[in-house]
Chain A
Amino acid sequence: MAEARRAPLSDTLWRRPRLLLALLITPPLLWLGIVYLGALFALLAQSFFSIDEFSGLISYELTLKTYAELLRASNLDILLRTIAMASAVTVSAAVVAFPIAYYAARYARGRWKAVFYLGAMLPLWSSYLVKVYSWKLILAKEGVLNWLFETLHLAWVLEAYLAIPVIGGNSLSVSWTGTFLVFLYVWLPFMILPIQASLERVPPSMLEASGDLGARPGQTLRYVILPLALPGIIAGSIFTFSLTMGDYIVPQIVGTSARMIGQAVYQFQGTAGNIPLAAAFAVVPIVVMGVYLTLAKSAGAFDEL
């Protein structure tokens, strides 16, 4: 029409909007489909093979034998221990994160708002290994925590705590408490930011309405704020739960000799060379997270991601 400027590709794209969409979506879809899903299915396939007990070689015959092995007492222990740890870390992270997120969303203004936001952002993105390393320093026998207890003449409290079975141990750095603390520390920022985001969306007038209708602050918290923060908590828990479940570095560096799923996967595929069992172990977090994500989706948590 108007002026006959040449733009054949543009013209084609306008006439065929589906083509534009296809051009946009194909490269990322190919990458994720081939590199990621392809690899994931390769792994899944392996879990249906088994290892020949005599030769130690993988026999490429479809079987559920490897999954049955997961139910062996020692392996079941690993699964349950990991899920228990992931749950404990998730719940504690929500409890510790909530006041921070709530304060940041409700009360912090201007510069303090930035302080709180960056206060959660920087640890979230700063080096995972450095964070783990810092706790190795803190929990070491000659480290700052023991020094603190001694300086305050409270060493007996620590000893009494360490004497408690299961959560105690020889020292904090080889106890479940130590592992738990490091997990909590490392994943906490993943809980703060989504909760804060969901709380930011609660209009102050809603809280005023609740107070106006006669709710005490505690009731407002329980019946108004918590339900509205729930999608954020669920979004955060996706990360804390998933990350704890798959981690093999933290329990290796701080903790007891009892293994978690991540360590088992790492060892079975590495030193033990039992890739089918490693794959079967890896399927557990996938299934758990699949269920978790489905539940989270129905609770509307994806808007907070």
Chain B
Amino acid sequence: MTAAISFKGLSRHFGDVRAVDSVDLEIGAGEFFVLLGPSGSGKTTCLRLIAGFERPTAGRIWIFGEDATAAPPYRRPVNTVFQDYALFPHLNVRDNVAYGLMVRGDAKAARRKSADEALALVALDGFGDRKPSELSGGQRQRVALARALVMQPKVLLLDEPLGALDLKLREQMQGELKTLQRQLGIAFVFVTHDQGEALSMGDRVAVFDKGRIQQVGSPEDVYDRPETPFVADFVGASNVLSADMVHDLVGRNAPASLRPEAIRIGFGPLAGVVHARAFLGSATRIEVDCDGQKLKVLIPKGGEVPQMGDSVTLGWSEGALHIMDSANG
């Protein structure tokens, strides 16, 4: 089966800045694919390269097997939901949704029908005559979604679409987007800097740093088996143990990741002093200083929490320590 999107050696430089630096990537046809990374890591530029808003400095892009490297945005079978929604302020909601059909040359009645159907799909029936300025943030988000979906794209690109929404609405939309993607069966490429969002929504996740992909894999892969210290730290704020320490512990000379929630207090190979603690509601997080290496430990509610300055011993179940052999970062 052909991949929906595939990159080969794709780069985009802005002057001396390598926003995207020689990236290879394949995105499957029905996948919910997440590009995750801190701001400035190149994930948004990657999305813009797929949409055609940026031209690559080097490398090629294929969309469903066709070389799209030199195709302008209006010739690509992909559509975008923008971070700021980019709704046309001079058009009402229905005309916004029907815009793509209008420039394509569809008849007026047909576009009206399709637009109203698309609005129904995002639960905005009856909002067609309003102006975008009269809608709430969540509603604008849905209009932007309907406007992209009405074009029946083969791939939908979403650029941090939930960033501007409050927490509750965001969680609701996460669920709806996931359902919608399954319903439509098309590929979603979803950009976010929120690792929680990435893990809960993605079929696969690509973690970006400094213009390069650090790791591609299922949410479980990147969370439990990070390949680089950056991934370990960025996804779920894991502890990264230095190669020296790992050598002392298990005799291998490579850094390793250790999840805060996997550490048990009481018995184990490491000893240290508690020097910070924070109550998080459902758990308490303490930080233990083991000869200069600071380890975060998550103690679930009900567990015994040591005091500041206490000496503690740290252990973990077998397999929790993940050695990062392929570490390059």
Q: Please, how many angstroms separate the alpha-carbon atoms of A7 and B73 in the complex?
A: 12
List residues 89-137 of chain A with CB under 8 A from any CB of chain B. Answer: none
A1 touches B55 (CB 8 A): no
Q: Please, how many angstroms separate the alpha-carbon atoms of A10 and B71 in the complex?
A: 11
Chain A residue total in the interface (Cβ 8 A): 10
Main DSSP-derived SS at the B contact region:
loop
Q: Is B123 an interface residue (CB 8 A)?
A: no
Produce 1/0 per residue, A4-24, CB < 8 A to B. Answer: 010100110011010000000
Q: Is A73 an interface residue (CB 8 A)?
A: no
B66's partner among A1, A3, A14, A17 (CB-CB below 8 A) is: A1
A10 touches B76 (CB 8 A): no
Q: Is A2 an interface residue (CB 8 A)?
A: yes
Produce 1/0 per residue, B52-90, CB < 8 A to A. Answer: 100100000001001010111111110000000000000
A10 touches B77 (CB 8 A): no
B76's partner among A2, A7, A15 (CB-CB below 8 A) is: A2
List residues 82-115 of chain B with CB under 8 A from any CB of chain A. Answer: none
Identity of the chain A residue whose Cβ is nearest the Cβ of B66 in the assembled complex: A1
A17 touches B55 (CB 8 A): yes
Q: Please, how many angstroms separate the alpha-carbon atoms of A294 and B139 in the complex?
A: 48
A14 touches B77 (CB 8 A): no
A11 touches B72 (CB 8 A): yes
Chain B residue total in the interface (Cβ 8 A): 13
**Shortest beta-carbon distance from B20 to chain A in Å:** 17
Which residues on B sit within 8 Å (CB–CB) of A7? 74
**Shortest beta-carbon distance from A4 to chain B in Å:** 8
Q: Please, how many angstroms separate the alpha-carbon atoms of A106 and B66 in the complex?
A: 60
**Shortest beta-carbon distance from A152 to chain B in Å:** 56
Q: Please, how many angstroms separate the alpha-carbon atoms of A3 and B73 in the complex?
A: 12
Known: A1-B66, A1-B68. A15 touches B75 (CB 8 A): no
A14 touches B72 (CB 8 A): yes
B55 touches A2 (CB 8 A): no
B70 touches A2 (CB 8 A): no
B72 touches A10 (CB 8 A): yes
Q: Please, how many angstroms separate the alpha-carbon atoms of A3 and B72 in the complex?
A: 12
Which residues on B sit within 8 Å (CB–CB) of A11? 72, 75
Q: Please, how many angstroms separate the alpha-carbon atoms of A185 and B74 in the complex?
A: 55
Which residues on A sit within 8 Å (CB–CB) of B73? 14
**Shortest beta-carbon distance from A118 to chain B in Å:** 26
**Shortest beta-carbon distance from A295 to chain B in Å:** 30
Identity of the chain B residue whose Cβ is nearest the Cβ of A15 in the assembled complex: B70
Q: List 18 A-B contacts (CB under 8 A).
A: A1-B63, A1-B66, A1-B75, A1-B76, A1-B77, A2-B75, A5-B74, A5-B75, A7-B74, A10-B72, A10-B74, A11-B72, A11-B75, A14-B55, A14-B73, A15-B55, A15-B72, A17-B55
The 7 closest A-B pairs by CB, nearest first: A14-B72, A1-B75, A1-B71, A2-B77, A2-B75, A11-B72, A1-B66
Residues in A lying within 8 Å of B, measured CB to CB: 1-3, 5, 7, 10-11, 14-15, 17
Residues in B lying within 8 Å of A, measured CB to CB: 52, 55, 63, 66, 68, 70-77
